[in-house]
Structure 1
Amino acid sequence: MKLLILDRDGTLNRCRDDYVASPDEWEALPGALEAVARLNQGGWRVVLATNQSGIGRGLFDMASLNAIHAKMNRQLAAVGARVEAVFFCPHAPEDNCACRKPAPGLFLQIAERFGAPLGSLPAAGNALRHVQAAAVAGCAPHLLLTGKSEHLRDRVGMGADADMAVLVPELPAGTQVHDDLAAFADWLLAHDSESLTATVPAPN
């Protein structure tokens, strides 16, 4: 099974200074939905893992979250894309739960639901805590320079070519860096192609 785990806010849709608390506030990032469609076409099943502490803080409720995801799914479907499931943590930080990233609980839930070993799964997101949770869970971590990490691109002016280990010393070892979700999709699909070529024997 080709399964990958994405963050939501700042990866698929625009971040806000507060919270995305209603469907009207959910706005897809340019090219992000199309990137999911290309990943789907390449055989990848996409799952989201997202912190939604606005629920635990009483800023919005489950009905609002469901409405946000209904809008998201409609817009994905309009470009031929699909997200298999959304795993979310509804807790506030003071709840000290096991599922709020950078804890790996959401990733463990995904592995159990899909029966997929985490060591084989790529995980991409714009927030350091998403990448940290992915690494703790054993996934291959990928940082996107959008949303919470967009300022890193602005500081160095060279996108994913920057030395992120210097700029972000908390970044897990081995983290791959990409300009955005579209660039990550390009990288992953190209990596798939290279792997397939390497395993196909040359003709006699």
Structure 2
Amino acid sequence: MKRLLLLLSLFCVAHFSFAQDSGPKEITPQVLQKLKADIEKQIPAFKQKLSRENLTADRIEFSLDTFRIEQLVSKRMDVDYSTAGMNMAVEEQTASYDKLMNKYYNKLLKTLKPEDQKVLVSAQRAWLAYRDAELKLIGTMTKEEYSGGGSIQSSIAIGSYSELVVKRAIEIFNYYDGIIKDK
């Protein structure tokens, strides 16, 4: 009996002493579906909170969309916190904000008079040219010869690009929301 207890004790000590986090996990379609479902469970309470703030329907919708995006990137990074996993999460975030920007760009375009639509189209084309040039600069500045290298450089580049898109999506929405509020 003593021998059995000793073996059991040694097993427990060995198992719990050397047990480690299994590391980052791949974001499979099933995992992604679960993460999104978890976020959707939070939406009713968040929507109710927003409804009490006397916001426009579009502001509430935009807030819910950005909430979903931000929560998903956070949850993805909790599951796959490898550099590649975090980069992929930020790339997905950027793509989602790009879709959001296009959604509100089109809504804004429809609310403007034809002569003012030309101004928006011109401004957006200029922003796209700026974004593309900035992306080239970010790529240059994260080269090893300028940055010192390291795997973090890819994260810095992806994060910098994402900031540009997120900022523009918010700007476009704010232009649209400003017009809608006044009507």
Instruction: Give the TM bin, normalised by the shorter chain.
Output: under 0.3
Of the two structures, which has the highest relative contact order with CA contacts closer than 8 Å and spacing of 6 or more? 2
TM-score by structure 1 length?
A: 0.23
Q: Which has the higher helix share?
A: 2
Q: Which has the higher strand share?
A: 1
TM-score by structure 2 length?
A: 0.25
